[in-house]
A and B are shown apart, each in its own frame.
Chain A
């Protein structure tokens, strides 16, 4: 047999496994390692690790008017928080918001991306329209939606008056305020999510759909049994960043509801900000920040442990 003929081999995943153990640094490598890692370690240490440790430290004390630590209380701040119905409700509000935003962002993004991936004349216009919110800043979005929600002069109020319906004040009712914030966030997120998902859908090989066409799969069946599994890594990606992004949601909350009414939209991040920079209660907000960190770390871990396994093919 000729040497050049390729064998019908199965791709091997673990070729380089033994390489790692022979990894040694000589003096020159160490020098370069220090030079290359040094600056980033310095920056990270100064701006990430030091503040993190400091936050942990502050959370174990009470702070006075000037923000200085005074009385050591151990886990007192944490105990207070966990036993405070206010904080617990903030926690649930945040979780509700995060999951609602993630669900609707991904679901709507997927719907629009699927619609826009159809090969129809003029579809490019819709692709541009759907992705347009990507270029909108938080401030502009907030003002835009505040105008829509305004109970006297807003768009919804106007609509209600046309149809002689009672005017709903979106931002003063705790339930509708939450939905107002969710709608606004989803609207903001949609452009990016749409674009990413559209890219994913369009990169699914067309022959898969053709094969399914020939095999007799309906378009619904194809969507759920080809499109969804094929883009699942992308779905995983967008839901992860949407979850993390919504946990950190601040600008929209600050501009639309300021956490109100009755703390109905007082997400953890906003609460931390208010407790620190409005009320000057640094110890409490430090403890809250640590709790938020733990929660986000938990969700990140959870996602990578369970979800990634399922979407990797």
Chain B
């Protein structure tokens, strides 16, 4: 009982495929997030699962049934669109009831029961007579959710449902969607470009980039053991610092010719890179003689500060997380070093950190 994607490929005309050889298994009842930068084909993949876009090659199975040639309505799923796709001429209640009425196989009493329940679930009972134009963005979003809830389908697809909302509201709706998914036991396949959404809600994340799956894993796996440089850079705020490195001796590497780090594994002689999260970098004030970087700017975030510094060599910039009472100003000369928790990437960007191999599947 799951949704299985096997060797999915999509190409228009004979150009470079938009999606190439996608494989995944989405478990029933899980919150599955497809994430990637814009243009990576994530929406296309979702639309192919929905049946709105034909697949060029491969196979989609839902509950052990190949659905490649089934029209959307026979795949027993619902979808929430980025634009919500509400009918402007119908009030909230009728918008939610639309699908039930369209299928023509639900009794009037049943429709009323389900619509009212769905509205109750998203706290819209009092607004059921309003037209979409009389609703705020968040309320519209809830109507779209209610529509998905009212349908009996156990698979729900969401295409960037929060991207039209402002930051505060996005956080709130994130929680609501998550709660709803858990409460109803929905299989939720959720597309977003926002790594925070992916990290906060997903049971599993699929990272798409450059027409290919970069990695599939739980948020923790993705964060701790990114399959490659792209995945590492995509998750985490501020993004991971990627710096060139060379081997000094066994167990020791030199980063950017600025500082050295001890490591617990074999590395190639050169042509590899090191990834260091901002919180794994350490800085201290230093005079010009001992400094290897200078402070460019500082962001105050409450409990901590982010210090952006320019390394002496190569003009590379790094972000460093320090506690908010640390005393740094712009143009301070500093000395940058790192803890031993670093990631190593080879020349092709593949993660070569020890312990990472077992999670890399792409």
Contacts and interface: CB of A to CB of B under 8 A. Distances in A.
A and B touch in the complex (CB under 8 A): yes
B135 interface: yes
Contact of B89 (A6, A212, A217, A232): A232
B213 to A, nearest CB: 24
B73 interface: yes
Given A213-B52, A214-B50, A205 B89 contact: no
B145 to A, nearest CB: 13
B136 A10 contact: yes
A213 B166 contact: no
Nearest to A217: B102
- Scoring B73, B74, B137 by chain A CB atoms within 10 A of each residue's CB, the highest score goes to B73
Contact of B79 (A8, A211, A313): A211
Interface stretch (B80-88, B217-225, B249-257, B317-325): B80-88
Interface in B43-78: 50-52, 71-74, 77-78
B89 A210 contact: no
B87 A216 contact: no
Interface in A1-47: 1, 5-6, 8-11
A106 to B, nearest CB: 18
A213 B89 contact: no
Interface string B79-110: 10111010111100000001100110000000
Contacts of A260: none
Given A213-B72, A215-B98, A313-B133, A207 B85 contact: yes
Interface residues of B, number: 37
A123 to B, nearest CB: 19
A208 to B, nearest CB: 5
A210 B136 contact: no
Nearest to A209: B85
B166 A6 contact: yes
Contacts of A1: 168
B102 A214 contact: no
A5 B98 contact: no
B166 A216 contact: no
Contacts of B151: 215
B81 A217 contact: no
Contact of B83 (A207, A216, A225, A232): A207
B349 interface: no
Contact of A230 (B82, B89, B102, B168): B89
A226 interface: yes
Nearest to A233: B89
Contacts of A230: 87-89
B299 interface: no
Given A216-B102, A229-B89, A10 B81 contact: no
B357 interface: no
A8 B169 contact: yes
B289 interface: no
B102 A221 contact: yes
A232 B89 CA distance: 10
Contacts of B52: 210, 213-214
B131 interface: yes
B138 interface: yes
A62 B304 CA distance: 97
Contacts of B82: 207
A10 B134 contact: yes
Contact of A9 (B78, B102, B136, B167): B136
Interface string A218-239: 1001000110011010000000
A205 B73 CA distance: 19
Nearest to A9: B136
Contacts of A226: 87
B201 to A, nearest CB: 20
Contacts of A313: 88-89, 131, 133
B209 to A, nearest CB: 25
A208 B87 contact: yes
A9 B135 CA distance: 8
Contacts of A210: 50, 52, 72, 79, 81, 85
Contacts of A216: 72-74, 99, 102-103
Interface string A59-81: 00000000000000000000000
- Scoring B102, B134, B151 by chain A CB atoms within 10 A of each residue's CB, the highest score goes to B102
Interface in B16-43: none
Contacts of B168: 1, 5, 8
A1 B131 CA distance: 30
Nearest to B166: A6
A226 B90 CA distance: 10
A257 to B, nearest CB: 41
- Scoring A207, A216, A230 by chain B CB atoms within 10 A of each residue's CB, the highest score goes to A216
Given A213-B72, A214-B52, A215-B78, A8 B138 contact: yes
Contacts of B102: 212, 215-218, 221, 225
Contacts of B166: 5-6, 8
29 contacts: A5-B167, A11-B134, A205-B83, A207-B81, A207-B82, A208-B85, A210-B72, A210-B85, A211-B85, A212-B99, A213-B52, A214-B52, A214-B72, A214-B73, A214-B79, A215-B78, A215-B98, A215-B99, A215-B102, A215-B151, A216-B73, A217-B73, A217-B103, A225-B102, A226-B87, A232-B89, A313-B88, A313-B89, A313-B133
Given A10-B135, A210-B79, 10 more contacts: A1-B168, A10-B139, A210-B52, A212-B99, A214-B73, A214-B77, A215-B73, A215-B99, A217-B98, A232-B89
Interface of B: 50-52, 71-74, 77-79, 81-83, 85, 87-90, 98-99, 102-103, 131, 133-139, 147, 151, 165-169
Interface of A: 1, 5-6, 8-11, 205, 207-208, 210-218, 221, 225-226, 229-230, 232, 313
Q: Which 6 A-B pairs have the closest CB atoms?
A: A215-B99, A217-B102, A216-B73, A211-B85, A313-B89, A207-B85
